[in-house]
Structure 1
């Protein structure tokens, strides 16, 4: 599995459903204490109508399986999710390198405060915490944290 060749490429319409399924599996595994604000049908619809056609969405593909996704909207890193068996194999690092290449002037993102592994990952990649909220501005009503990455001058 993780030893297979993995291609990062821009998502196409046919990737929306498998990318949404990766998102759902990853969310459930990474955030077991956070109630998802949307059901599976709504998440899949959001991928098909919004994320894939309207944002810069990349998928990680091995064989015919989508195993990860990255979504950028300008300088905002909107989504970075890996299928749980693919964590720890460098795929997140590859996506982060791609994001920084696409947005060399900087990136920002939000993650939940309870997501320690994601926070450590972003910090390892040079992101700095700039804001915390009580979660009242996100759909899940879960306290979150905003990170920013700026290239070294």
Structure 2
């Protein structure tokens, strides 16, 4: 299946469970050294009761499976997670294009300092580093970087 075989669409309540599983697998693969602040069941509940119903949540669907999730919250890319086997196949690019279309005035996001691949990805898409913190303000207590994109 290729990038062109993917459907990007707004998430519905029935997508919450699959979107949470994508998030869990992606986080584990991309951030193996970062201790999550919430266990698996708490993440699943967060997707079911907060993320999908209350935020602008998009999913990428390949066949009948959710393989990626993008969450926009006002001018923020709140979440962007892909099934590990879908990394490097253009799906993240499509999600960033969609986010920029939905928020043409600009976007911000946070990524952990240890996540070099994410930093390179966002910089390639025109995001610029705006701030670094020691992690005191995030639940994981992990140093992070705020990125900003302005058209």
* TM-score band, normalised by shorter chain: over 0.9
Give per-residue Cα distances to partners, 1:61-100, cap 9 Å, x unaligned.
0111000000001111100000000011100000000000
Q: Is the 8 A contact 1:11 1:52 kept in 2?
A: yes
Structure 1: where are the runs of 5+ without partners?
Answer: none
Shift of the alpha carbon at 1:2? 4.2
Give per-residue Cα distances to partners, 1:91-148, cap 9 Å, x unaligned.
0000000000000000000000000000000000000001011101111000000000
Corresponding residue of 2:7: 7
Which runs of 4 or more aligned residues in structure 1 lie more than 6 Å from their structure 2 counterparts after TM superposition? Answer: none
Corresponding residue of 2:51: 51
After TM superposition, the structure 1 = structure 2 runs for residues 4-43 of structure 1, keeping only pairs within 5 Å, are 5-43=5-43
Q: Is the 8 A contact 2:17 2:48 kept in 1?
A: yes
TM-score (structure 1 length as normaliser): 0.96
How far apart, in 2, do the equivalents of 1:83 and 1:66 lie?
Answer: 9
Shift of the alpha carbon at 1:5? 1.2
Corresponding residue of 2:135: 135
Shift of the alpha carbon at 1:4? 7.2
Gap change, CA 1:3 and 1:109, over 3 Å in 2 = closer
How far apart, in 2, do the equivalents of 1:28 and 1:2 lie?
Answer: 24
How far apart, in 2, do the equivalents of 1:5 and 1:149 lie?
Answer: 28
After TM superposition, the structure 1 = structure 2 runs for residues 65-76 of structure 1, keeping only pairs within 5 Å, are 65-76=65-76
